[in-house]
Amino acid sequence: MEQQIKVGISSCVLGEKVRFDSGHKISKFVTKELFPYFEFVPICPEVGSGMTVPRPTIRLVSEEDRIALVETKDASIDHTDQVVSYSKEKVRQLMQDDLCGYIVCAKSPTCGMERVKVYKKGGAESVGVGLFTSELMRAMPWLPVEEDGRLNDPVLKENFITRVYALNDFYQSMGSAPTRGKIVAFHSRYKLILMAHHPTSYKTLGKLVANIKDYDIIEFYQIYREGFMSAIAHRASRKNNTNVLMHLQGYFKRSLDKSEKQELRQVIDDYRVGLLPLLAPLTLIKHYLSAHPDAYLSGQTYLEPYPQELRLRYGL
């Protein structure tokens, strides 16, 4: 059996009863669909930093020079330092662990990724990021981070899972130590994914890899990892996917007869205008690839970025 991919997760999203009211926020998608593929590392920064279950509610408050985490009913009880200290230490541990993604609890003052309420004196409020997640994203800018609720959106879900699998593939491909050859081979397999997600980065990363000899290998590894993960964080648009499909179509110019070419053209066009999901042209291309093998195409991760059993391309 394949080694499971390590993904951090807010404990409550996994179903642990660690919330202020002794409840949880279990995600059925996580526990039913993803559980067979990922090894989840559950973390609750509030409990981890010493708060009790149950506990008074807490919120973020904007002070003159910092964002503080205080109790809602008594703002003089301040948990900021203990949570920040715990978060820094926990994230430092996670950095040693080849973590490939993180699913956080939305709107939480410690775990929220965006649109977390930050209160100000006078009653006005703005939005920010939970204290733990802020530390996580600052220390590991390459890490795919997503909120539990946003994983109900088919496009955001597919993008997050693509990134998790890509980062895991990157780490597995590097083995015990990165080399120039390993990075060039990895980049070659991900060319079409980059083209679909962010054509500008496809070009800039191509130039970067062409000059790999000019860099210290560890420095290059870090620059490439961040650049690559930032590129695929852009969601693959229908227009960019269509360009990739037409690029793939070009590889079969000599091997398909007139009616097969017409069929492939039609299926790609039906995807382009939204009549068919991405799965339809890809299934046909894989069928033609098995009949007319091509080593370069067979190696392209774009054709199967994650297990088909996850059924993520049905909704794209």
Predicted local distance difference test score (pLDDT) of residue 163: 98
CA distance 212 to 198: 21
How does pLDDT run across 206-240, given as a tens digit for each residue? 999 999 999 999 999 999 999 999 999 999 999 99
- Residue where the block lists tokens 């068919």: 276
DSSP string, 100-158: --EEE-TT-TTT--S-EEEE-TTS-EEEE--HHHHHHHHH-TTS-EEETGGGGSHHHHH
The average pLDDT across 189-197 equals 98
**Backbone φ and ψ of 60, nearest 5°:** -90, 135
- pLDDT for 195 beyond 60: yes
Predicted local distance difference test score (pLDDT) of residue 316: 86
pLDDT class for 65, splitting at 50, 70, 90? confident
Predicted local distance difference test score (pLDDT) of residue 1: 44
How does pLDDT run across 267-276, given as a tens digit for each residue? 999 999 999 9
Amino acid in position 156: L
How does pLDDT run across 277-298, given as a tens digit for each residue? 999 999 999 999 999 999 999 9
Q: Which of 307, 295, 218, 207 is nearest to 2 (CA)?
A: 307
Amino acid in position 154: P
The average pLDDT across 108-135 equals 92
Predicted local distance difference test score (pLDDT) of residue 68: 95
Q: How many residues does the chain have?
A: 316
How does pLDDT run across 159-188, given as a tens digit for each residue? 999 999 999 999 999 999 999 999 999 999
- Residue where the block lists tokens 């996850």: 310
How does pLDDT run across 76-99, given as a tens digit for each residue? 999 999 999 999 999 999 999 889
Does residue 43 contact residue 18 with C-beta atoms inside 8 Å? Answer: no
- Residue where the block lists tokens 């852009």: 234
Predicted local distance difference test score (pLDDT) of residue 2: 59
- pLDDT for 191 beyond 70: yes
Dihedral sign for Cα atoms in the order 34, 40, 46, 50: positive
Instruction: Report the percentage of the chain scoring pLDDT > 70.
Output: 99
- pLDDT for 19 beyond 70: yes
Longest dimension (CA), the chain: 76
Within the chain, strands assigned E span 5-10, 38-43, 58-62, 67-71, 102-104, 116-119, 125-128, 145-147
Give the CA count within 13 Å in the CB-facing half-sphere of 53.
15
- pTM of the complete model beyond 0.85: yes
